[in-house]
Structure 1
Amino acid sequence: MSKPSVVSAVAEDTPCCPPMTQARIAPEVSSSLAQAFKALGDPIRLQLMSMIASAPDGEICVCDLTPAFTISGTTISHHLKVLREAGLVDAERRASWVYYRPRPGLMRQLSALLAVDEPVTA
């Protein structure tokens, strides 16, 4: 049984919360966003996410992702599934290939949560 997507708990088009340096995170939001952070906590998934997010056309074929690693295609598929379940990427099958694109709304929420304002110096 697959885990529920982060997006179901935190809408991508609305800010989730102020930076954690300004306010405490609500429990229901923290558990949802933790799934995305956990997915990015693996070095392979972080590299995959970087490749997907920086793809020139806004998406990338799994056929271009797999050769970049020395692990099996099955393992790559598992890591991509984790990123999908966390709500970080969308996937679309076209013929025999799957294309991945980032979900920028969730990436913005994670970034906003970690934002730290520079202290004002006099």
Structure 2
Amino acid sequence: MTDRAPIPVPGIPCDAEGPVFREPWEAQAFAMTLALHQRGIFTWPEWAEALGTEIKRAQAAGDPDTGQTYYRHWLAALERLVADKGVADTATQARYQHAWEHAVHRTPHGAPIELQPQDFD
């Protein structure tokens, strides 16, 4: 911890210690990226290139780059790297995304979301 105040970045929420996540999934995507890097799945230069590519792609499609969509780009880069490195292909990722969406819809508000075999149907 430093005695200096964090430098604000437009569109990125901050508290007294610096940038914070808007949603739990952003922190989870961040943590997954660190874990996969630590396991040697990709290097930091590979990660930086993948994230930069996703941001440029979004900007070319009209993203105003205000910081509001940063972690969407982060997640897209992570998904692409996971597929490119053979960890989970796009079909497997889509299968799990569908299962999570199904689990969300069947789970009562406030209850933990847990995947069950029928979520994959």
Normalised by the length of structure 2, the TM-score is: 0.25
* Larger Cα-atom Rg: 2
| Bigger share in helix | 2
- Larger strand proportion of the pair: 1
Could you state the TM-score of these two structures normalised by the residue count of structure 1?
0.25
Task: Kindly indicate whether structure 1 or structure 2 has the higher relative contact order, using CA contacts under 8 Å at least 6 residues apart.
Answer: 1
